[in-house]
Amino acid sequence: MEIRCKKGNCKHNTGCSCSAHTVEISRGTDCNSYVNDQIKSDLMIENGNIFQVAEELVARNLKNVPLECRARNCIYNNQEKCNANGITVIDDDEENDADCATFCER
């Protein structure tokens, strides 16, 4: 499963691809695996943003990452496991919060 991350200051974000060993989405669609990286935060403030790196330049994280989903009203939730082909985690404009953009309400 490919996990895209648009939360530029997350410790697990490598070229907009998630490198976390496990990912958990909460009932409210927050990414509980998000970890603020102060160095990346400082870069974002200094440079304005961190941009997605071309896929050819970054090793894609298509590993079998356990993705737990607590959002019971999501169509991809199958007994608290995500069965989507991939997900995208986005910045929700709060410094210490990230959301699953793949969430689709039943």
Tens digits of residue pLDDT in 31-76: 999 998 887 766 555 554 555 545 554 455 455 677 899 999 999 9
Q: How many angstroms separate the CA atoms of 44 and 66, rounded?
A: 29
- Between residues 68 and 8, which one has the greater pLDDT? 68
Inform me whether the pLDDT recorded for 23 exceeds 70. Answer: yes
Please name the amino acid found at residue 76: Y
Dihedral through CA 89, CA 49, CA 41, CA 29, nearest 10? Answer: -20
For residue 50, list its beta bridge partners: none
- Residue 25's pLDDT band, with cuts at 50, 70 and 90, is very high
Q: Dump strand ranges (E) for the chain.
A: 2-5, 13-14, 17-18, 23-25, 67-69, 77-78, 81-82, 86-91, 98-100
